[in-house]
């Protein structure tokens, strides 16, 4: 099998790593401008490889793509018990297009950085920061590309962590400023909180699904679902265990999503992204707009097949809350990068919400377009900040249109893109027009036209039908739907069999028939439609609550408002600070990327991205529990494809797209116009409104304090942790140290006691055995010696006496020796008699 | 009654004088007193020797030895006086109990 594309993609992952190694080891020797060329060359090679793969992939047929993907090489890395861990390049359309997007955006941001970092890397303390920046950028590219191509959840997690590390390193790039290093720590720690959930999800997946590979996990998951719904349920089955009302499967999906909450800065863990603006602007553009924060959404896309309806609803709720809160906070921001940061948070909320609503294609499409225009907006803001002599406060800007024309108009293109500029009803528009609109269309379907099959049934009956074939077709439809309301047969929903095989073909054919019937029967309602199996699954899902539709609609009005406010206050009107205005200028190295990215936003988004994402959607969303909805209106013939529901093209006004045109189609004009009205003459009108109207003042204060999230986290979590630390420290110092000291004291006492008693006395009461023995023996010897010495008293008289006495005794003994001898003999005999 | 004086009487006399001499050496603190004792002992030995020689026919060995002993006693007395002179020069007394520096 031909593995060229995999090798190309893998090479593109490894080359930035080599660049990182080179710059890390020899960076300072390579020197200031050339270090950036190394990194630029690495990512440039990556871009070339990505383009090659994409061009080749686009030229392949569906069957060829499926074959190539199924035969991909998997490297058996290790075994976890008897679970093999394999890793390889997951070769499908989503990988290809995501890879291309990441390398493209990264390349132009590298280009921008060369100009930007010229003035920003001071040779401080003899330590040049320039090569360090590009080393970290290369490491980040390696990690992000690895994350994109990873076929195994475990390796995705490895790269996930690496991306978090690079984010920390790059945010805290100016580490000698405390708020920058604090922001880096905050980003990493908040990410880790989310990663805790991710690890729990990974653990559940390896324990119950016994694999990390994404495709196998999805297949096992579907198998467990079907096994559980039958008579014989497997014991180690995710659906057999319940924790506080949720199945373990739901818990696993929610835990895996926790990682995305952390990485993509969703509702409770969104606090790190605005602070991350302390890093250099290219970092904000690359990491916190286009790629790293998109990794969370990418993860949800990859594990879509592992979600249950409850988990999906959780995802949608979190996304909805995020997009609302952060858009409201963005209205009152005065730092240009903070506005863009909150705008990013809000758009990420849209993407996550889209995933939760089932708009798989739309959410990823929004991710791609957002990457382009948000990174372009960040680069524009970087240009503005650079040009205005490091001024970031928009209250001090104004009237920069004449001084920085390229920046001004590319920023405006970005504002239009994010606002969803487009002429309703046609295909003329910029990125947000297509992607956000599609998400909202799917949300509309999920809220008002749900569940689809029941509606189709009732609607069909309401039509007047006269001809035979239609009635028989309707009967056939009903009979084909009815048995499928029960849990679907495994064959029909197996992900491996549905795409590109005769089973899939027949299902699609059936779906076509049913879909077309459905469409004809319900053509006037434009409902979502699909294969009978998918419709039956959809009928088990709850409709979304109304507020989850209306909030994104409201924010669709708010988004253009705050973006236009930002643009107008920065570029239009009269300059509010003359000094800043005088200094403003543009640099060619920095506005070439802006032009390229704006061209991307204008032209490439719809016709290049969406088809590839749509192609990947078929396999990636084939779940037995939830459905993805293709929000794009198709004609009847295209409808009812494989694994997703499709919104059909309806001629009447009740199609979701038509409804949306009425609800939010002109949101961009209204939002931008409102902003122009209020901020036309600068901030005076807004200020007077704020001072005069109490609700506005209170709301403004709350939003300015970022809805008190940071305060609450600081006081509850940080202070709480510190309090626990104080308690534990006291315990350590008093109890544990006390125990240790007590042991020491005890040892010392025992030693001293035994020493004194057994060896050597110090005080009066001590015994001192050994010393007493030694001294005693010595004393005895001394006494014996003195006693023995006593005869020798030095006196002659005594010596004479002893001599004479001894002589006398000897004389007597000799004289009476016989008698002595016989007497001794007699004594001896008597002793023997007495003894014997 | 007239006592027949035989050898034994001379030997007993010698023994008595000998033991008196020893006693004198043992008890006298005066250095000259010790010398007197030494002289007594020597003279007792002389008496012993001469007695043995008188009651042995034909030999005069004992008497010859007695003359040697007298000679030696004189020499020895001279040497002893010299020692005692040195003793007096250091200790300023002739109490021999004072010369107990070589005690143990």
Q: What is the pLDDT of residues A356-368, one digit of tens each?
A: 988 888 898 889 8
A800 vs B26, B103, B104: nearest CB: B26
pLDDT of the residue at A523: 35
CA distance A797 to chain B (A): 5
Query: For A680-816, where are the alpha helices, taking DSSP H only?
Result: 684-692, 694-704, 709-712, 719-731, 737-754, 769-789, 796-815
Contacts of residue A795 in chain B, CB cutoff 8 Å? 96-97, 99-100, 103
- To the nearest whole number, what is the mean pLDDT of chain A? 79
B3 secondary structure, DSSP code: P
Residues A417, A289: Cα–Cα separation, whole Å: 15
B75-84 mean pLDDT: 96
Percent of chain B clearing pLDDT 90 (strictly above): 75
Angle of CA points A512, A513, A519, to nearest 5°: 80
User: Do the chains contact at B26 and A790, CB–CB below 8 Å?
Assistant: no
- ipTM for the assembly: 0.88
pLDDT of residue A460 exceeding 70: no
- Is residue A781 pLDDT above 90, yes or no? yes
Residue A424: what are its φ and ψ, rounded to 5°? -60, 140
| Contact flag A792-B25 (C-beta cutoff 8 Å) | no
- Expressed in percent and rounded to 5, the helix, strand and coil fractions of chain B are 75, 0, 20
Neighbours of A571 (CB within 10 A): 24
Q: Which residues of A touch B22 (CB under 8 A)?
A: 800, 804
The Cα–Cα gap between A93 and A368 comes to 13
The packing angle between helices A547-571 and A431-448, to 10°, is 160
Judged against a pLDDT cut of 90, whether residue A19 lies above it is answered with yes
Query: Above 60 in pLDDT, residue A658?
Result: yes
SS3 state of residue A80 = strand
Nearest to A597 by CA among A295, A369, A363: A369
Check B103 against A793: CB less than 8 A apart: yes
What is the reported pLDDT for A229? 58
Q: Check CB contact under 8 Å for A795 and B101.
A: no
What's the alpha-carbon Rg for chain A, to the nearest Å?
42
> pTM score, two decimals?
0.71
- Nearest by CB to A797, from B27, B102, B104: name it: B27
Nearest CA in chain B to A785: B104
Evaluate the CA torsion angle A304, A309, A313, A314 in order and state its sign.
Answer: negative
| Cβ distance of B104 and A792 shorter than 8 Å | yes
User: How many A×B Cβ pairs under 8 Å?
Assistant: 39
Tens digit of each residue's pLDDT (9 = 90 or more) over A217-266? 888 888 887 776 543 344 456 676 777 777 788 888 999 999 999 999 99
- pLDDT for A517 equals 37
- Residue B29 and residue A797: Cβ atoms within 8 Å? yes
Residue A651 phi, psi (nearest 5): -75, -20
Residue A211 to residues A53, A95, A152, A202, A600, Cα–Cα distance (Å): 28, 21, 9, 10, 39
- Work out the number of other CB atoms within 10 angstroms of the CB of residue A199: 17
Distance CA B50, CA B80 (A): 26
The Cα of A817 is separated from the nearest Cα of chain B by a number of Å equal to: 21
Which of A170, A172, A249, A167 minimizes the C-alpha distance to A208? A249
Indicate the DSSP class of residue A205: I
Which of B19, B22, B27 would best serve as a mutation to test chain A binding (most A beta carbons within 10 A)? B22
Judging contacts by C-beta atoms under 8 Å, the chain A residues touching residue B18 are: none
**The predicted structure's pLDDT at residue A426:** 66
Of the listed ranges A383-387, A658-662, A668-672, B64-68, the one predicted with least confidence? A658-662
The verdict on a CB contact (< 8 Å) between A797 and B100 is no
Q: Which residue of B has its CA nearest to A802?
A: B26
Distance from CA of A745 to the nearest CA of B (A): 52
Find chain B residues with C-beta within 8 A of A789's C-beta. Answer: 103-104
Collect all residues from A whose CB is shorter than 8 A from any CB in B: 789-797, 800-801, 804
- Which residues from A are below 8 Å from B103, CB to CB? 789, 792-795
* Mutation site for B-interface testing, chosen from A795, A806, A815 by largest number of B Cβ within 10 Å: A795
Per DSSP, the residues of A583-618 read: H----HHHHHHHHHHHHIIIIIIIIIIHHHHHHHHH
Reference A164, options A308, A299, A4; nearest CA is A299
Which of A785, A792, A804 is the best residue to mutate to test the B interface, defined by the most B CB atoms within 10 Å of its own CB? A804
Do residue A792 and residue B103 have CB atoms under 8 angstroms apart?
A: yes
Contacts of B27 in chain A (CB under 8 A): 797
Partners of B12 in the β-ladder? none
User: How far does A825 lie from chain B, in Å, by closest CA?
Assistant: 33
Phi/psi at A88 (5° precision): -170, -175
Say which range, A687-701, B5-19, B42-56, has the weakest mean pLDDT.
A687-701
- Asked if B100's CB is within 8 angstroms of A794's CB, the reply is yes
A797 neighbourhood in chain B, CB within 8 Å: 25-29, 34, 96-97
Residues of A in contact with B96 (CB under 8 A): 795-797
């Amino acid at each position: 099998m031909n593995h060229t594309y995999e090798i190309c993609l893998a090479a593109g992952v490894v080359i930035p790593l080599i660049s990182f190694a080179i710059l890390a080891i020899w960076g300072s020797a390579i020197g200031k401008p050339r270090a950036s060329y190394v990194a630029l060359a690495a990512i440039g090679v990556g871009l070339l490889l990505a383009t090659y793969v994409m061009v080749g992939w686009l030229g392949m047929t569906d069957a060829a793509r499926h074959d190539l993907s199924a035969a991909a090489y998997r490297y058996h890395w290790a075994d976890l018990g008897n679970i093999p861990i394999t890793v390889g390049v997951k070769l499908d359309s989503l990988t290809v297009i995501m890879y291309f997007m990441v390398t493209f955006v990264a390349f132009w941001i590298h280009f921008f950085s060369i100009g930007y970092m010229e003035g920003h890397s001071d040779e401080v303390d003899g330590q040049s920061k320039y090569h360090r920046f590009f080393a970290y950028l290369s490491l980040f590219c390696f990690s992000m590309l690895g994350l994109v191509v990873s076929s195994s959840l475990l390796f995705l997690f490895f790269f996930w962590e690496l991306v978090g590390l690079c984010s920390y390193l790059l945010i805290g790039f100016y580490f000698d400023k405390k708020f920058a290093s604090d922001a880096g720590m905050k980003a990493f720690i908040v990410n880790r909180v989310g990663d805790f959930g991710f690890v729990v999800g990974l653990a559940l997946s390896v324990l119950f699904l016994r694999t990390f590979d994404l495709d196998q996990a999805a297949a096992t998951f579907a198998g467990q679902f079907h096994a559980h719904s039958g008579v014989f349920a497997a014991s180690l089955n995710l659906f057999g265990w319940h924790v506080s009302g949720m199945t373990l499967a739901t818990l696993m999906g929610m835990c895996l999503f926790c990682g995305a909450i952390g990485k993509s800065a969703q509702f409770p863990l969104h606090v790190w992204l605005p602070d991350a603006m302390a890093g250099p602007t290219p970092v904000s553009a690359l990491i916190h707009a286009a790629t790293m924060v998109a990794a969370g959404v990418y993860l949800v896309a990859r594990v879509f097949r592992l979600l249950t309806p409850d988990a999906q609803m959780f995802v949608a709720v979190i996304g909805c809350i995020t997009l609302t809160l952060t858009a409201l906070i963005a209205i009152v921001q005065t730092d240009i990068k903070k506005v863009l940061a909150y705008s990013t948070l809000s758009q990420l909320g849209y993407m996550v919400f889209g995933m939760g609503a089932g708009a798989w294609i739309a959410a990823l499409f929004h991710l791609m377009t957002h990457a382009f225009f948000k990174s372009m907006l960040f680069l524009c803001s970087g240009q503005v900040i650079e040009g205005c002599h490091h001024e970031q406060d928009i209250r001090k800007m104004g009237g920069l249109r004449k001084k920085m024309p390229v920046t001004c108009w590319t920023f405006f293109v970005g504002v239009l893109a994010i606002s969803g500029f487009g002429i309703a009803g046609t295909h003329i528009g910029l990125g947000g027009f297509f992607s956000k609109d599609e998400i909202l269309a799917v949300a509309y379907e999920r809220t008002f036209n749900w569940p689809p099959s029941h509606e189709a049934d009732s609607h069909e009956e309401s039509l007047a039908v006269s001809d035979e074939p239609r009635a028989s077709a309707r009967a056939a439809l009903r009979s084909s739907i009815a048995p499928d309301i029960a849990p679907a047969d495994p064959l029909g929903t197996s992900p491996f069999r549905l795409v590109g095989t005769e089973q899939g073909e027949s299902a699609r054919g059936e779906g076509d028939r049913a879909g077309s019937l459905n469409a004809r029967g319900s053509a006037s309602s434009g409902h979502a439609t699909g294969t009978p199996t998918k419709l039956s699954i959809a009928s088990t899902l709850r409709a979304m609550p109304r507020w989850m539709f209306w909030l994104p609609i409201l924010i669709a009005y708010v988004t253009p408002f705050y973006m236009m406010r930002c643009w107008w206050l920065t570029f239009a009107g009269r300059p509010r600070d003359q000094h800043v205005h005088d200094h403003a200028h543009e640099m060619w190295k920095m506005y070439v990327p802006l032009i390229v990215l704006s061209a991307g936003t204008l032209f490439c988004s719809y016709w290049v991205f969406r088809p590839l994402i749509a192609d990947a959607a078929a396999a990636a969303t084939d779940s037995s529990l939830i459905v993805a909805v293709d929000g794009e209106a198709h004609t009847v013939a295209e409808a009812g494809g494989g694994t997703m529901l499709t919104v059909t093209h309806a001629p009447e006004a009740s199609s979701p797209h038509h409804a949306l045109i009425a609800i939010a189609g002109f949101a961009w004009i209204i939002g931008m116009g409102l902003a122009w009205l209020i901020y036309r003459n600068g901030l005076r009108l807004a200020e007077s409104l704020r001072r005069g109207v109490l609700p506005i003042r209170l709301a403004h204060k709350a939003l300015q304090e970022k809805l008190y999230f940071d305060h609450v986290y600081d006081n509850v979590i940080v202070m709480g942790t510190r309090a626990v630390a104080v308690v534990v420290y006291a315990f350590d110092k008093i109890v544990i140290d006390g125990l240790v000291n007590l042991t020491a004291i005890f040892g010392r006492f025992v030693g001293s006691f035994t020493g004194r008693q057994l060896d050597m006395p110090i005080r009066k009461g001590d015994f001192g055995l050994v010393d007493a023995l030694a001294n005693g023996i010595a004393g005895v010897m001394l006494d014996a010696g003195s006693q023995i010495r006593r005869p020798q008293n030095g006196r002659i008289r005594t010596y004479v006496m002893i001599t004479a006495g001894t002589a006398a005794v000897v004389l007597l003994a000799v004289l009476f020796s016989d008698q002595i001898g016989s007497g001794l003999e007699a004594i001896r005999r008597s002793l023997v008699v007495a003894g014997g | 009654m007239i006592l027949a004086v035989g050898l034994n009487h001379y030997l007993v006399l010698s023994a008595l004088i000998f033991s008196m001499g020893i006693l004198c050496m043992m008890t006298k603190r005066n250095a000259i007193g010790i010398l007197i004792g030494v002289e007594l002992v020597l003279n007792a030995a002389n008496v012993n020797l001469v007695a043995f020689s008188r009651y042995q026919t034909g030999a005069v060995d004992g008497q010859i030895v007695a003359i040697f002993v007298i000679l030696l006693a004189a020499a020895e007395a001279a040497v002893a006086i010299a020692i005692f002179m040195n003793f007096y020069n250091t200790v300023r007394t002739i109490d021999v109990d004072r010369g107990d520096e070589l005690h143990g």
